[in-house]
Amino acid sequence: MDLGLKGKRCLVTGGASGIGLATAKMLIAEGCHVVLWDRNEDVLAIAARLRTEMGFANTDFGRTVCELEIRGEIVDVADEGTVEQAATSLNERWGAVEHLVHCAAVGSRRFGFPFTNLKPEDWVRPMHVNVMGMVHVAHAIAPGMVSAKTGTMIFVGSVAGQIGSQTDPPYSASKAATINFSQCLAKDLAPYGVRVNTVCPGMVQTNLNRNVWESWCETIHPADRISYEQWAQSKIDAVVPLKRWQTSEDVASMIVFLSSDRAAQVTGQTINVDGGYVMHW
């Protein structure tokens, strides 16, 4: 299936790991130029590795026809000035970004059930990174898409933003805000041909998911602790009808599809890649 993405200019935030990295690889495989933003300095080495592994687009006959541009940049989306500077540099080099995938997010790193386990200050960083980071990126990238009268934005939410997950209330609340602001953006940008959607993962083995287990362990007597694998499997058995993990690649596949011409009539939607998790609720 031709997704119509070949040669497109794509920006992936949180691109050094997890869903962001999986999405970047799939976009490159589709023939896209990709820039990775991440606050992790490893993003530079990761982009270099991707250039070595995947840096060429091929014809149906396997002939190399062009080298793709694949770059990493150290960008903290919580820093408005840094985001603006990086976006300006990118626009000058590339022109407008055609496809944005925003994956950058953090949890509170505290187990939040009940919510009184947390202090108000535990809310500050998740809300600033996850909500204001999204705002910073949207403000920096949207004008170029508006001028070009085309583009897509995909924001990675979470099923936690729909069901009020009690394990990390700040994270849950921030992801509810992600869904809501995505809908606002979709309405505002539709007249300019720009589509905006949210993709919500369920149970994915990422560092953020493991951090929830680590935070839970801190609240449990050592004799009652179980391994991450046991803890996660018990959750999957309890709430995921398909009874299996979702992978970063599962989520990336949906993101790439929604970014493509095949989803030309899809905007303002919240798509769950969760094995039926939210249906269960």
Active site residues per annotation: 171
DSSP count for the chain of H helices, then E strands? 11, 9
CA dist 252 and 17 (Å) reads 12
Whose CA is closest to 215, among 234, 231, 202? 231
**Cβ–Cβ under 8 Å, residues 255 and 184:** no
**Max CA separation in the chain (angstroms):** 61
Backbone dihedral angles phi then psi of residue 278, each to the nearest 5 degrees = -70, -35
Phi-psi category of residue 128: left, alpha or beta, with phi > 0 → left and psi -120 to 50 → alpha: alpha
Neighbour count for residue 148 (Cβ, 10 Å): 15
Q: How many residues does the chain have?
A: 281
Residue 64 pairs in a beta bridge with 58
